[in-house]
Amino acid sequence: MDKIINKLKKITNNNTDIIYRKKKINNNQIYIIYSESLTSSTDISNNIIRSLDLIEKRYKNNLNLYNIIKNDITNSKVTEINNANDIAYYINNGFTIILVENKYLAFETRRNLSRNISNPMTETTLRSSTDSFVEDIQTNTGLIKRRIKSTNLWKIDTTLGTESKTNISIFYMNNITNKKLVKEIKTRIEQINIDSILSIGTLKNLIENETKSVFPTISTTERPDRACNALLEGKIVIVIDTSSFVLILPTFFNDNFKSMDDNYGKSLNITLTRIIRYIAFFITILTPAIYIALTTFNQDILQTEILINIAAQRNQVPLPTFFEALIMMLSFEILRESDLRIPGVSNSALSIVGALIIGDAAVSAGIVSPIMIIIISITAITSLLFTEPEFIYAIRWYRLIFMISAAISGLIGITFVFIYLIINLCNLTSFNLPYLMPYIPTYINGLKNSIIKFPTKKIMKRDIFLTKNINRSDSQ
Amino acid sequence: MKKIIIVILTIFLLTGNNDYQELNDLSIVTALAIDYKDNNYLISFQIQNPNNNNKYIIYDSYANTIDKAFNNVLTKSPNKLYYKHLEILYISQTIAKNHMDNIIKYFTENNITRNEFNILINKTNNISTLINEPAINIRNLIKTNTNNIGISQNLKFNDLLNDYLNPYKELTIPSIEIDIDTNNEIKLSTIAIFKNNKLIDYLSEEENIGLNIINNKLATTTLKNNCNNNNYYVTKIHSIKTNLNPDLTNNTINININGKYEINKLNCKNNITELQINDNLKSIITKTINTFKNYNVDTINIQNLYYKKEPNYFKRNYKYWYQHYQNTKTNININLTKDEKKEALGGLYE
């Protein structure tokens, strides 16, 4: 017994965090070992120590103390440890170890180290539910199971990271999700060999094979309802401990234009909203490029009155239009980036400075023209319609490429890059499924919930690319 | 990567689109006035002033050829002149009489403009007043006029070019004049008729309306008709649709005009029948056609209609058109109906 204690002390470098408590029960020496920072001291005193005292009083002639302790301690989760090398792992997971008769028992006495469930911070909606995932895998599992009570909600548990030993759960619907997809993801996760997975982003980058394109093929969400929605469509959700975001895969182009709010509105209203989102996508990606093309190459396309107005505004600006646009785009992106980093208290100061610099002073100083402010504002506002950051970054890339092509050869350049964008999107797959689904390949049932949304009663089929069990009405 | 390189290469090599020009380096020309004096072409340029939307910079330039005159302006202008937004081209009567070919050739061959600008004949030869008037105003003036009164014609360069290239068509170009009676205001004037691309004369306002009705280019117009003892009544005609049916064997053209009218009697207490109104319009149309016959110019393009209907027959029998033109018969059929919807109930006298 002392040998084990010494070994433990050696591998943990005699960590003062770990408490070794000696206790005698009717002349039998036992050890209670736990990590002070990971365990709840009330649980240990109330459940373990008190139970041990009761055992001492009740069993005077204890024949088999190991079995008595195993059965009589009033703790919900008990695990027998067969290998002495696992002790350290259990201690680091918040278990309390009892050493008795050279055998080991682990009792879960984990302290609650995560925060309470709070509102979503990044994916706000008007009327959808307002709970969000937290940093605890158990709570997150609970949030999913609370919504899907079916026994068909299966999960695969595993740990990743040789040092961090992060718990990972892969959720899927047994009767809906394509087994090939589950197998594919399982193998991709099994192939990972890394010291630590500290965030969901690391895992995302490790399992994402489609690295050539800037568009996201896996999306992250902090909304349990969105995760459950994805599960019921036949997608897979990966939850990891210590991350308040979960992964949804595969993700398609069309998913970026959907919101959980869409379930609340009438189908006609939602259709209009979706059309506006698609228009906003093209506006945000094309507006600066089209402005550059129209003012430097294709002036003849504009109406005379508009051209005269633009010419009057640009008259005082010394910079070429492309650089003017580039400078304004850059200053907006810097402003946005700094807005994300700085603490909330200085937010208003920043927005005042930003609005003054971008909006007013630059115009009066003659560095940019007022119409450029309008162009950049429209571009910036429309890009904020999308919640997935990866998608916004992708838009940013293409916006820049479009701007450069417009500066090189006007509208023809824009046309060429647009063709390239379409080719790129058609070529892209997310976990071997076409990214532009349901547009290409066209699938009627999928189109019912794409740029147009049919009434919910009429969307009774799932996507045939994701699952073979396509009937929503009777999915047993 | 290969794909990207191919895309970039195609942009550079295949499109030939590399005329980069910043707006700051351009002067937008909105109107041109061309005149011919003492063996020189005289061109006035109306250029948009970038510092003030309502003021214009005017340059004058002259030389013995049009090309030289266009180039000479660069000795005065600091920026490159940009003609794609030309709205109005004023040509003088001298040009219209003798140099139309040169003007049309210059604008088609050099391709410096869009084909969507209006052409007007400067009837009173007062270039300085015209060139100082905003070209966009004049453009809108023509548009409103053709839609509502019909004493002018919304003639774009493209239409002129089509007429010019068609051997069976005669040119018509609207004109503009300075109204000396009313403090030198600019006023749209009537259409000028051409024969063999040379200006002959201008139509009267009534003939102008008649021509526009025959060409199916008039939406609404107002006609003044005599009643009795200096009194008159006014008919407003709208939704006019004209059908021209040529009959080659009899050298006859059937003109069918359908439309609606509203009537404003004012002091006229006579009972005015539909027949009277139809006859009134018929007399206008007949008068117009007779005017063209007097000038011996086929402005309503009967030969073009004949040719379109039966080209071979036309070529065989009407080879020398103007020998047959005077014998052309017209059969005018007018069917104007009262627009009940717009009639005020009863009116003052009922």
Write out pLDDT tens, residues A335-392. 888 888 887 777 777 777 777 777 788 888 888 888 999 999 999 899 888 888 899 9
Contacts of B4 in chain A (CB under 8 A): 420
Q: What's the confidence (pLDDT) of residue A402?
A: 95
Q: What's the confidence (pLDDT) of residue B46?
A: 92
Q: How confident is the model at residue A476 (pLDDT cuts 50, 70, 90)?
A: very low
By CA distance, what is A303's nearest residue in B? B85
Q: What is the distance in angstroms between the Cα of A420 and the nearest Cα belonging to chain B?
A: 8
- More confident call, A190 vs B273: A190
Average pLDDT on B197-201 reads 90
Q: Which of A297, A312, A320 lies closest to B53 in CB terms?
A: A312
Q: Which of B7, B20, B84 lies closest to A416 in CB terms?
A: B7
Tokens (6 digits) for B306: 């004949």
Whole-angstrom Cα distance, residue A420 to residue B4?
8
Contacts of A312 in chain B (CB under 8 A): 50-51, 53
By CA distance, what is B117's nearest residue in A? A304
Report which of A405, A377, A379 is spatially closest to residue A392, judged by C-alpha positions. A379
Q: What's the confidence (pLDDT) of residue B12?
A: 67
Q: Pick from B11, B56, B113 the residue to mutate for testing the A interface (most A CBs within 10 Å).
A: B11
Task: With CB atoms and an 8 Å threshold, state whether B11 touches A413.
Answer: yes
3-class secondary structure, B349: coil
Average pLDDT on B314-335 reads 86
Whole-angstrom Cα distance, residue A435 to residue A430?
6
Task: Say if residue B350's pLDDT is above 70.
Answer: no
Task: With CB atoms and an 8 Å threshold, state whether A412 touches B11.
Answer: yes
Q: What's the confidence (pLDDT) of residue B15?
A: 62
Q: What is the distance in angstroms between the Cα of A218 and the nearest Cα belonging to chain B?
A: 24
Residues near A351 by beta carbon (within 8 Å), at least 6 away in sequence: A339
Q: Which of A297, A312, A409 lies closest to B50 in CB terms?
A: A312
Q: How confident is the model at residue B347 (pLDDT cuts 50, 70, 90)?
A: low
Q: Which of B18, B26, B30 lies closest to A409 in CB terms?
A: B18
Task: Say if residue A52's pLDDT is above 50.
Answer: yes
Average pLDDT on B52-80 reads 88
Whole-angstrom Cα distance, residue A348 to residue A352?
6
Task: With CB atoms and an 8 Å threshold, state whether A408 touches B11.
Answer: yes
Average pLDDT on A39-59 reads 85
pLDDT 10s digits, A419-435: 989 988 998 988 889 99
Q: Is the ipTM of this complex over 0.85?
A: no
Task: With CB atoms and an 8 Å threshold, state whether B48 touches A308.
Answer: yes
Burial class of residue B147 in the structure, from the number of CB atoms within 10 Å of its CB (0-12 exposed, 13-18 middle, 19+ buried):
middle
Whole-angstrom Cα distance, residue B266 to residue B250?
44
Whole-angstrom Cα distance, residue B11 to residue B154?
39
Q: CA A72: distance to chain centroid?
A: 42
Q: What's the confidence (pLDDT) of residue A157?
A: 92
Whole-angstrom Cα distance, residue A106 to residue B310?
105
Average pLDDT on A7-12 reads 83
Paired strand residues for A24: A29
Q: How confident is the model at residue A312 (pLDDT cuts 50, 70, 90)?
A: confident
Task: Say if residue A176's pLDDT is above 80.
Answer: yes
Task: With CB atoms and an 8 Å threshold, state whether A409 touches B23.
Answer: no
Contacts of B30 in chain A (CB under 8 A): 304, 308
Q: What is the DSSP string of B56-75?
A: EEEEEEEESSHHHHHHHGGG
User: Lowest-pLDDT range, A26-30, A139-143, B115-119?
Assistant: A26-30
For tokens 């300075």, name the residue.
B178
Task: Say if residue A209's pLDDT is above 90.
Answer: no
Q: CA B199: distance to chain centroid?
A: 14
Average pLDDT on B235-242 reads 88
- More confident call, A197 vs A362: A197
Q: Which of B7, B28, B84 lies closest to A420 in CB terms?
A: B7
Task: Say if residue B93's pLDDT is above 60.
Answer: yes
pLDDT 10s digits, A258-281: 988 888 889 999 999 999 999 999
Task: With CB atoms and an 8 Å threshold, state whether A315 touches B136.
Answer: no
Tokens (6 digits) for A191: 């192939």
By CA distance, what is B4's nearest residue in A? A420
Task: With CB atoms and an 8 Å threshold, state whether A299 touches B17.
Answer: no
Q: What's the confidence (pLDDT) of residue A399?
A: 94
Task: Say if residue B13's pLDDT is above 80.
Answer: no
Cβ–Cβ under 8 Å, residues A12 and A5:
no
Contacts of B28 in chain A (CB under 8 A): 304, 307-308, 311
Q: What's the confidence (pLDDT) of residue A56?
A: 82
CA distance to A66, A189, A200, B215, per residue, from A157 (Å):
29, 11, 15, 83
Long-range own/partner contacts, residues A202-206 (CB < 8 A, 24 or more apart): A203/A160, A203/A168, A203/A238, A203/A240, A203/A247, A204/A247
Q: Which of A296, A299, A321 lies closest to B82 in CB terms?
A: A299
Strand intervals (E) in A341-451: 429-430, 433-434
Tokens (6 digits) for A220: 């992250």
Task: With CB atoms and an 8 Å threshold, state whether B11 touches A310.
Answer: no
Task: With CB atoms and an 8 Å threshold, state whether B84 touches A300.
Answer: yes
User: Rounded mean pLDDT of chain B?
Assistant: 86
Q: What are phi and psi of B237, to 5 degrees?
A: -105, 135
Q: CA A264: distance to chain centroid?
A: 23
Task: With CB atoms and an 8 Å threshold, state whether A296 touches B26.
Answer: no
Q: Is B7 on the interface with A (CB under 8 A)?
A: yes
Q: Pick from A292, A303, A304, A404 the residue to mutate for testing the B interface (most B CBs within 10 Å).
A: A304
By CA distance, what is A292's nearest residue in B? B22
Q: What's the confidence (pLDDT) of residue A62?
A: 64
By CA distance, what is B47's nearest residue in A? A308
Q: Is B50 on the interface with A (CB under 8 A)?
A: yes
Q: Is the pTM of this model over 0.80?
A: yes
Task: Say if residue B346's pLDDT is above 60.
Answer: no
Q: What's the confidence (pLDDT) of residue B340?
A: 76
Q: Is B20 on the interface with A (CB under 8 A)?
A: yes
- More confident call, A412 vs A172: A172
Task: Say if residue A247's pLDDT is above 50.
Answer: yes
Residues of A with CB under 8 A from a CB of B: 295-297, 299-300, 304-305, 307-312, 314-315, 317, 320-321, 405, 407-410, 412-413, 416-417, 419-420, 423
Average pLDDT on A450-467 reads 87
Q: What's the confidence (pLDDT) of residue A475?
A: 47
- More confident call, A103 vs A232: A232
User: Rounded mean pLDDT of chain A?
Assistant: 87
Cβ–Cβ under 8 Å, residues B88 and B139:
yes
Tokens (6 digits) for B201: 């004369």
Task: With CB atoms and an 8 Å threshold, state whether A300 touches B26.
Answer: no
Contacts of B21 in chain A (CB under 8 A): 296-297, 299
Task: With CB atoms and an 8 Å threshold, state whether B17 touches A410.
Answer: yes
Average pLDDT on B280-294 reads 90
